[in-house]
Amino acid sequence: MRKSKSISIQLATEGFLDELSVGKQPYTVKSYEVSLRRFQKFLESGRAISSDSATNKLTVDHAIDFGKSLQGLAPATIRNYLAAISEFYRYLFARRLVDVDMADHQRLFSSLKQMRPRSFNLPRVPTDEMIDALIKAVSAKEDPKQKQARGDRDRAELRRFRDIALLLSLKSSGMRLGEVIGLKRSDLDYRNKSAIVTGKGRKQRIVYFDDAAWNALKEYLETRKDGSRSRSLSYLPVFARHDRRSGNQLLPLSRQSVEQLFVRLAKKSNLDPKPTPHWFRHWFATQILERTQDLAALQDMLGHESPVTTRVYAKVSTKRLRQVHRVAFGGRNVNEDD
């Protein structure tokens, strides 16, 4: 076994996060950063290993003990912390920044895998009425009596067109929020009313839009008049900011802006529980499954790596179960529509 190199844990962490930013979404990088910060605090507490200590002081048992210390946290949080520490140690191993033999290497990943919570909470799928309420709320025009400067009125109308297109796109495509705000104009396929999206792990897939979403997208983009700008259209974001601070620049819409939009829509529509962008993905998945019963196609549409992740929607897609129950207790035909 070759001798390991010696750099500080802090430098190794920075190098890992820097490399991670090339292949992961920004929010994933931020999540891993938070996880590794907790790992550093764990090392400092009773183990006399600081962020300035050399990486060759780290052992497999440090990572395993850290995983054990997470018991009691929410399953999603545990999964995130374990994923971060696992990827960090892979990084250390690949660069020979720690001393470890093959047996310890296998023991580490086997232990972390066993600690990963297996249970999945059923997603909260919104009703058709909830989705319709959000679309209605986002489509409503602002009070015409409200006095605004011409520029502010134009920006407000652009935001309305954008937000309508955004929600209808989420509804008809099943995209994650990070995927939809990462779209560029070159990703759109006008012939097939589709787009190429880049999902988790930088994996690409094709998503499709219904007529309502596609028409809203075209109306929004035509209203923007991007052709009057010198920058190539292909590199422009599909969903952009339209506020005073962005000025004449076409900057991509941020997750925070969308989250703020949903806070406003929650107040307008009086929905409880509070709506989130992921509502549309859950709604989309159950619609596809109830109408086609095709789990394999749904897995491709959602960009799930494992069919196990997709199968959770089979548990909340209750139309078939309701029909069977009615045959048993209500005498209705199993193929009879609701």
The C-alpha atoms of residue 335 and residue 319 are separated, in whole angstroms, by 10
| Catalytic status, residue 278 | yes
| Catalytic status, residue 235 | no
Q: What's the Rg (C-alpha) of the chain?
A: 24
Tell me which of 32, 81, 220, 313 is the catalytic residue: 313
- The pair of structure tokens assigned to 2 is 């070759």
| 294 φ, ψ (degrees, to nearest 5) | -105, 90
Tell me which of 200, 255, 311, 319 is the catalytic residue: 200
| 188 φ, ψ (degrees, to nearest 5) | -80, 140
Tell me which of 224, 241, 281, 282 is the catalytic residue: 281
Which secondary structure element, helix H or strand E, spans residue 204, and what is its range?
Answer: strand 204-208
What is the side-by-side order of every strand in the sheet holding 204-208?
A: 188-189, 194-198, 204-208
Q: Is there a contact between 220 and 165 (Cβ–Cβ < 8 Å)?
A: yes
| Catalytic status, residue 242 | no
Our separate counts of H helices and E strands in the chain read 14, 3
Q: Quick check: helix, strand or coil at residue 189?
A: strand
| Catalytic status, residue 105 | no
Sequence-distant (≥ 6) Cβ neighbours of residue 231 within 8 angstroms: 250
Distances (CA, A) of 10 to 16, 18, 98: 10, 12, 14
Ramachandran region, residue 270 (left: φ > 0; alpha: ψ -120 to 50; beta: rest)? left
Distances (CA, A) of 88 to 16, 149, 305: 7, 52, 21
Tell me which of 278, 319, 326, 332 is the catalytic residue: 278
The C-alpha atoms of residue 300 and residue 77 are separated, in whole angstroms, by 26
Tell me which of 162, 176, 241, 242 is the catalytic residue: 176
Residues labelled as active-site residues:
176, 200, 278, 281, 304, 313
